[in-house]
A and B are shown apart, each in its own frame.
Chain A
Amino acid sequence: MRAVNRSSWPVWVGALAAFSGLMVWHRAPQLSIAPSFVTGYILFALVVFLALYSGRKRLSMLPVGKASVWLTLHLVGGALALALFWLHVETIWPLGTADRALAVLFYGVCLSGVVGYGLQLWLPGRLAHAGREIIYERIPTEIATIRGQVEKEILEAAGESGNDTLGREYLETLAWYFAQPRFFWSNALGGRSAEHWLQRHLTTIGRYLTEAERVHLARIAELGAEKRRADAQYAMQALLKRWTMFHVPLAVAMLTLAVWHLILVHVFAR
């Protein structure tokens, strides 16, 4: 797993100092303004700032700072937002349906963010050493090519031997494997299910084949291993892409509910 960027420590220290100052102020005995108003607005501003990171990705044509700096600020800001959230609600689980809904969304965004960042630290290194690098969008084509080669081997074996043993095995079991990416979670998490599955089926059929057919079976085994590498690329790249499908919609929903929360607070605080 790749190490977290250590050059970001000044930002972390700054965030910690700011939060400590806010806590000291929050605990002061006599305040002229309700502390939850202040922490709420700071939290809201922080959440809006965090959402701007998504906007940065669409403004590549402008000199608005490096995306890596924005990511660091996003991570530090996210951690600060969680701490501020607890300071603001003064509990982990607030009362009231609307507040709980907001808390669920907030925790959902935090959790998906942490998981996503964890995946970003963990998976690239594995991807880099998982065989041939394939662009995500090209993986289906790659698998189709492999499938075509397997079917060619099957046809050649049948033509040479006059037996349909390998062809039947392909239709009954192997076709499923070569049809599309398989063993998603096993491949994503570094398991070896696909390897074992393939080994089991190829060994089983091997005893019924002639010497000439076994040559084709060996080639199919090689293609199976190639397919497994493509599947691993697919699974890991899919995870790296899909986590944002939770994080971003949850963030949008949370931000919308936060605006509603702000309106309600102002209406009922009078």
Chain B
Amino acid sequence: MNVHAPTMVRPHRWDVPFDSDMSDADVDALMATPVVASVRAEEFPAHIPLRGILRNDARIVSFQPGDIVCREGDYGNSAFLVLSGAVRVVLAPSLPRKLLGRQEVHKKGFFESLTQLFTNSRIPEVRDTERYRNIRAQSRGASGAETHIFIQDVPAVLDQHRTVTLPIGQIFGELAALGRVPRSATVFAETETRLLEIRWQGLRELHRYDPGWKRLIDENYRRNALHGVLRTNPLFAGLSAEDLQAVADQVKFKTYGAFDWHVSYKQMRETGAAGDEPIIAAEGLVPDGVYLVRAGFARVSVRFGSAQRTLAYLGAGDQFGLDETYESWKTGKPARRLNSLTGLGYVDVLRVPSHVLEKYVFPNLPAPPPPAPPVDRPIHDDAFAEWLVDERLINGTQVMLIDLDRCVRCDDCVKACASTHGGNPRFIRHGRIFDQWMVANACMHCRDPVCMIGCPTGAIHRHETAGVVVINDDTCIGCGTCANSCPYDNIRLVEIANPSGDPIVDGDGRAIVKATKCDLCVEQLGGPACARACPHDALSRVSASTLVEHAATTTPEATAP
């Protein structure tokens, strides 16, 4: 053994608590609250005690009247428990974007677009610092550590919007935190309020080990979201309200993989070691129902040689296992699963058990086609799709795909991007390459936008109408959380300057930075300038779900006479 090898203390889960200010006294006080007191602490394993969860995965946050706790449309990784005071949920209509501190997307007119020719600064990333003062007036923080957007005129909001008060002991935000879906409503503090904020890791343990919390969270989901999910699936669309309720009552929930999958994915890319994918349904076993993907991604694969061959990937709204389950019921003989379903990073699935389908769904279901035969195409046909899945590029809805057989490296796309973004491009014509296809370093506007998780001000958000992921420059504090979280390195932090070109710095002389990325030209006329500027149609913005098709229809083989 090398005696000179550097040593360190082995890292542990709670080395970095959610809030280092949480004390034993805080935990004692929390243990005395009715909601926490009802938790069966003895059910928790010795290495994850309830007190440890409260101490390390939770924190106490105070809000002033009018402070916004969470905003509709935001992605968050924590849930809240009301300890004291009261919060209000805005039911309808939603609060206006401006009131929520969101950027108003203003589509430029023809002449406004044209003036960019002359108004773009020669100095990159010039900002008008005066503009930031307005938004600063809308936010406040406690000793600079916590910053909240707040509603200035609470009575007006109460007058004009339907709201409901959440009392002490109420939990909210858990569906968004565990299901990786946007917050469904805005919540603000009505009075001086203390909330217990529990990050998703702690929430997951509470859900796993305490039957009360599990029941509470599952009931919340069944009550608030499950009906909607089932109704959108054609399998259940024709069911009566009673039957749908019966199905909903028996659906099983399960989450696979890590919520912060981007961390392990980045490590995997750096080390080159492939991570294990959690098995959701294994090939060769008797089918136990239909799986519905609620959030995240899963891989459908079949054993091939000494590895798994990818046949397809599933995202939110997709289902798996219908054919074999139906076949078993129809023939009366237990069929075997032809394929496996594994989690890619993080996946949240619902399982509708076979006996439920047999009772409520199959009798009225037109016979689906029999299970597809094993694949007989060459493996090379699937190589591109396999690569997309391995690289997790399946996450993109607006992937910048460049056909290198067509691209003449003129950089007209880069120049067009710069000319529409104040003189500095928002992407790099460089990226991951498979054969002739390059997926450039441009924001893909992901289906599962992990960049949004953890943004302290909600500056990075999905635009409600355009659907693209945008950054509000006014509220971005340049912390770099989004850039670090992006698994594809598509967000850049840039140092900003004033119109004279002087770098803007803080009181300590450190440069002020802002996060920037492709906004899909949401403010520009005519859509993404990069794609329009390519003289050879080499660059296109395509959804991951159509990438393979797109590539197949534009290869030389496909376009040859």
Residues in chain A within 8 A of chain B (CB atoms): 2-3, 5-6, 57-63, 65-68, 70-71, 120, 123-125, 127-129, 133, 135-136, 237, 240-241
Q: Is B280 an interface residue (CB 8 A)?
A: no
A60 B408 Cβ-Cβ under 8 A: no
B429 A70 Cβ-Cβ under 8 A: no
CA distance A66 to B528 in the complex (A): 11
Partner of B430, one of A6, A133, A237: A133
B532 A67 Cβ-Cβ under 8 A: yes
CA distance A129 to B561 in the complex (A): 23
Contact partners of B524 in chain A: CB under 8 A: 61
CA distance A5 to B430 in the complex (A): 25
CA distance A62 to B108 in the complex (A): 10
Most interface-central of B410, B433, B532 (chain A CB within 10 A): B532
- From known contacts A60-B529, A61-B114, infer whether A68 and B408 are also in contact, taking CB-CB under 8 Å: no
B412 A67 Cβ-Cβ under 8 A: yes
Which residues in window 278-310 of B have CB below 8 A to A?
A: none
Q: Is B416 an interface residue (CB 8 A)?
A: yes
CA distance A89 to B531 in the complex (A): 40
Q: Is B536 an interface residue (CB 8 A)?
A: yes
- From known contacts A61-B529, A133-B433, infer whether A241 and B404 are also in contact, taking CB-CB under 8 Å: no
CA distance A1 to B420 in the complex (A): 33
Most interface-central of A58, A60, A65, A123 (chain B CB within 10 A): A60
B409 A237 Cβ-Cβ under 8 A: yes
- From known contacts A61-B529, A127-B404, A241-B410, infer whether A67 and B419 are also in contact, taking CB-CB under 8 Å: no
CA distance A183 to B529 in the complex (A): 37
Partner of B117, one of A59, A71, A237: A59
Q: Is B405 an interface residue (CB 8 A)?
A: yes
Nearest opposing residue in chain A for B414, CB measure: A135
The A interface is mostly helix, strand or loop, or mixed, namely helix
Which residues in window 401-419 of B have CB below 8 A to A?
A: 404-410, 412, 415-416, 419
- From known contacts A68-B537, A237-B409, infer whether A2 and B415 are also in contact, taking CB-CB under 8 Å: no
B410, chain A: closest CB distance, angstroms: 7
Q: Is B556 an interface residue (CB 8 A)?
A: yes
A123 B526 Cβ-Cβ under 8 A: no
CA distance A65 to B560 in the complex (A): 26
- From known contacts A2-B556, A70-B535, A133-B433, infer whether A62 and B114 are also in contact, taking CB-CB under 8 Å: yes
- From known contacts A61-B116, A62-B110, A127-B404, infer whether A3 and B536 are also in contact, taking CB-CB under 8 Å: no
Q: Tally A-B pairs: CB < 8 A.
A: 94
Most interface-central of B405, B420, B428, B429 (chain A CB within 10 A): B405
Q: Which 7 A-B pairs have the closest CB atoms?
A: A63-B526, A60-B416, A128-B404, A71-B535, A67-B535, A68-B537, A60-B529
CA distance A68 to B23 in the complex (A): 64
B406 A60 Cβ-Cβ under 8 A: no
A58 B405 Cβ-Cβ under 8 A: no
CA distance A129 to B245 in the complex (A): 57
Most interface-central of A3, A62, A65, A135 (chain B CB within 10 A): A62
Nearest opposing residue in chain B for A136, CB measure: B409
B404 A133 Cβ-Cβ under 8 A: yes
Contact partners of A124 in chain B: CB under 8 A: 404-409, 536, 538
B429 A57 Cβ-Cβ under 8 A: no
- Give me 5 A-to-B residue pairs in the complex whose CB atoms sit less than 8 angstroms apart, sorted by A's number: A60-B533, A61-B529, A65-B532, A66-B531, A241-B409
Contact partners of A120 in chain B: CB under 8 A: 408, 536
Nearest opposing residue in chain B for A120, CB measure: B408
CA distance A135 to B535 in the complex (A): 19
CA distance A70 to B429 in the complex (A): 22
- From known contacts A67-B534, A67-B535, A68-B537, infer whether A3 and B405 are also in contact, taking CB-CB under 8 Å: no
CA distance A124 to B412 in the complex (A): 15
CA distance A66 to B533 in the complex (A): 6
Contact partners of A66 in chain B: CB under 8 A: 531-532, 534, 537
Q: Is B500 an interface residue (CB 8 A)?
A: no
Nearest opposing residue in chain A for B405, CB measure: A125
CA distance A43 to B532 in the complex (A): 28
B410 A240 Cβ-Cβ under 8 A: yes
Nearest opposing residue in chain B for A119, CB measure: B408
CA distance A7 to B51 in the complex (A): 68
B107, chain A: closest CB distance, angstroms: 11
Most interface-central of B410, B531, B556 (chain A CB within 10 A): B410
Contact partners of A135 in chain B: CB under 8 A: 428-430
Besides A58-B419, A60-B420, A133-B430, 11 new A-B residue pairs in contact (Cβ under 8 A), listed by A number:
A2-B556, A57-B415, A65-B532, A66-B534, A68-B534, A71-B535, A124-B405, A135-B428, A135-B429, A136-B409, A237-B409
Partner of B536, one of A58, A71, A133: A71
A67 B433 Cβ-Cβ under 8 A: no
Which residues in window 384-427 of B have CB below 8 A to A?
A: 404-410, 412, 415-416, 419-420
